[in-house]
């Protein structure tokens, strides 16, 4: 990944996605905003107790840095489920300047230009999707529940059903997120990863002592995307762990929940 505008309003981007000329994308950091206290300084969540005016200013700053139009933003309404919403120009402003009109949306899909998708993170896994043939894009929030619920596969299905997407034409990016070095879970959670079918769980579940396990969310999501028909060569996985890099990125575990929130953002620009 590239770290852009690191001396002003930093954001991350994927080199592979930058090669696709009809999209613009970025992933915010915890730096470059105006929020204070535990939200210092780039917090993009309205629902964590931060000053609303500061959050709005943060959106303007990150949009200017990435090169996005603030008035085109369309946000998710995440609750760790797997509902995928297709959005259009009519949905611009939802979750930003307009109230949320649906209370459970963990993935967004659009085929319209000038609609900027916005999804939220602070350890969970962002998934970027670009149908390079039909010019369709999507973002998904994959926490552990969304991951075992195979939200990545559901996004591919939504793109196929609504826009005739062929999974072989889809380019995906996974992360940044909390990585296997830091993501420890108990047996009840690990069991749901073991229950995933037709995946090589030896690559994403690592047993420890005392009924604890290390889980690789990024690898799990990668395998789910491959199972959905996306070629492995079309999938890029971030090597940035949010907890290990908590000076740059918001991490729920690193901060004990006293934190701000980052965004993945993407739009079709032409």
CA distance linking residue 178 with residue 265, whole number of Å: 19
CA distance linking residue 138 with residue 155, whole number of Å: 7
CA distance linking residue 122 with residue 79, whole number of Å: 13
| pLDDT, position 270 | 77
pLDDT by 10s per residue, the chain, length 270: 999 999 999 999 999 999 999 999 999 999 999 999 999 999 999 999 999 999 999 999 999 999 999 999 999 999 999 999 999 999 999 999 999 999 999 999 999 999 999 999 999 999 999 999 999 999 999 999 999 999 999 999 999 999 999 999 999 999 999 999 999 999 999 999 999 999 999 999 999 999 999 999 999 999 999 999 999 999 999 999 999 999 999 999 999 999 999 999 999 997
Phi and psi dihedrals of 86, rounded to 5? -85, 125
Closest CA relative to residue 230, chosen from 168, 153, 166: 168
Q: Beta strand pairing status for 2-4 and 11-13?
A: antiparallel
Q: Is 106 helix (H, G, I), strand (E, B) or coil?
A: coil
CA distance linking residue 53 with residue 35, whole number of Å: 9
| pLDDT, position 169 | 98
Domain 2-178+235-268: top CATH class: alpha beta
CA distance linking residue 189 with residue 212, whole number of Å: 9
Burial of 48 (0-12, 13-18, 19+ CB in 10 A): middle
| pLDDT, position 53 | 98
């Amino acid at each position: 990944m590239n770290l852009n505008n690191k001396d002003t309003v930093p954001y991350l981007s994927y080199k592979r996605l930058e090669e696709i000329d009809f999209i613009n994308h970025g992933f915010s950091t915890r730096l470059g905003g105006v929020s204070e206290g535990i939200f210092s300084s780039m917090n993009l969540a309205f629902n964590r107790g931060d000053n609303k005016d500061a959050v709005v200013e943060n959106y303007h700053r990150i949009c200017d840095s990435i090169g996005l139009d603030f008035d085109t933003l369309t946000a998710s309404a995440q609750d760790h489920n797997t509902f995928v919403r297709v959005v259009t120009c009519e949905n611009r402003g939802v979750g930003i300047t307009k109230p949320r009109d649906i209370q459970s949306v963990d993935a967004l899909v659009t085929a319209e230009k000038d609609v900027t998708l916005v999804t939220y993170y602070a350890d969970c896994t962002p998934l970027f999707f670009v149908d390079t043939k039909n010019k369709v894009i999507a973002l998904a929030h994959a926490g552990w529940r969304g991951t075992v619920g195979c939200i990545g596969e559901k996004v591919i299905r939504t793109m196929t059903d609504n826009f005739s997407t062929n999974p072989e034409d889809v380019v995906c990016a996974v992360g940044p997120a909390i990585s296997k070095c830091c993501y420890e879970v108990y047996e009840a959670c690990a069991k749901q990863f073991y229950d995933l079918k037709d995946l090589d769980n030896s690559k994403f579940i690592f047993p420890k002592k005392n009924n604890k396990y290390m889980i690789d969310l990024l690898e799990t999501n990668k395998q789910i995307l491959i199972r959905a028909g996306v070629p492995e060569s079309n999938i890029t996985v971030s090597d940035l762990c949010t907890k290990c890099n908590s000076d740059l990125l918001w991490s729920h575990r690193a901060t004990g929940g006293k934190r701000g929130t980052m965004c993945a953002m993407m739009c079709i620009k032409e």
